[in-house]
Amino acid sequence: MTVDSTGSVSGREASPVAASWHSPEKRTGPIAILGLLAIVLLAGLVAGLAVVLPPDDPALPTAADATATAAPPDSTSPADQQQSPLPTSAPSDVTWELVGQTAVPVSASAGPRTRDGGVASGFAHTPVGALVAAAQITIRSGFSAGRASWEPTIQRQFEPSPDRDRLLATLRAAGESPVQPGDLSQIFGYQYQSYSPDTAVIGLVLSAPSVGTPRYHVLSLSLRWHEDDWHVVAPPGGAWTSINRETSDLTGVVEWSAR
């Protein structure tokens, strides 16, 4: 994996980095609800991989990284968005950057346009914009991304709701819980479950740390378009386990990771 001076991981062929989702077997105590939540997946996933990066590596961006600007997302007209076919292969203009221990996707055309104070925003009103938003926002809202990331991300990039408030309260009450790279899942791919210009449901597929047969789980993430950006809908009850399922069937899944 090549990490430049900005913390970016170049190309889809870079080595995958650890995500912040705990392996299902390692979820205990109050973090059980957060087990899936310790995200940082959502970017760089292939079965059983983890590259341990020194925690004090100056190339690693912190959760509260400085404002960065990507190329403006596509400004496709609503009619074009309605008729735009869903991509059947991984976006070609994506590079990967680190958030804590995890790589997240950045697209020149789909966003995010800005990353400021741990929050990524400014996604294209397109299927790829929704996909990149799902990965960026979910990872940045994960427990192991750090409070400087998950708190403002949940407050600003999640739809307001009682479920969002429960999720935020759970994280605030959790305290500190160090995560080891080997305990984390990785983003493996995705599948569009439904899409319209106003609402997208995307299955984000992660591979859990395992020995032997690879193990996968899918988060069914709902996003809504409002205030000129994509926002994630908090899981029912504020629990990521409510939208997570294990699977061995990868039919229709598009592989997508920082590898």
Low-confidence stretches of the chain (pLDDT beneath 50): 1-82
**Region of residue 238 (phi > 0: left; psi between -120 and 50: alpha; otherwise: beta):** left
Burial class (CB in 10 A: 0-12, 13-18, 19+), 23: middle
Q: Is 75 exposed, middle or buried (0-12, 13-18, 19+ CB in 10 A)?
A: exposed
| Within-domain flag for 127 | yes
Task: Report whether 197 contacts 38 (CB < 8 A).
Answer: no
pLDDT at 84 (0 to 100):
67
| List of E strands, the chain | 8-9, 21-22, 68-69, 94-99, 102-107, 114-116, 119-121, 184-195, 199-208, 215-226, 229-232, 244-247, 254-255
Residue 106 included in any domain: yes
Residues 41/207, Cβ–Cβ less than 8 Å: no
Examine residue 95 and state whether it is found in any structural domain, yes or no. yes
Residue 239 lies in a domain: yes
Question: Residue 178 is which amino acid?
Answer: P
- pTM (whole model) above 0.85: no
The token duo for 156 is 């600003």
pLDDT tens digits for range 14-73:
333 333 444 444 444 444 444 444 443 333 332 222 222 233 333 323 333 333 334 444
The per-residue pLDDT for 53 is 26
Nearest Cα to Cα of residue 258 among 146, 103, 114, 152: 103
Residue 232 lies in a domain: yes
Helix (H, G, I), strand (E, B) or coil at 214: coil
Query: What confidence score (pLDDT) does residue 180 get?
Result: 72
- Evaluate whether residue 67 is within a structural domain: yes
**Is 195 in a helix, a strand, or coil?**
strand
The SS3 call for residue 98 is: strand
| 3 inside domain | no
Rounded-to-5 percentages of helix, strand, coil across the chain: 25, 25, 50
What was the pLDDT predicted at 181?
65
Domain presence at residue 2: no
**Domain tally, the chain:** 1
Question: 3-state DSSP call for residue 200?
Answer: strand
Residue 129 has a pLDDT of 97
For residue 134, what are the domain limits?
A: 8-255
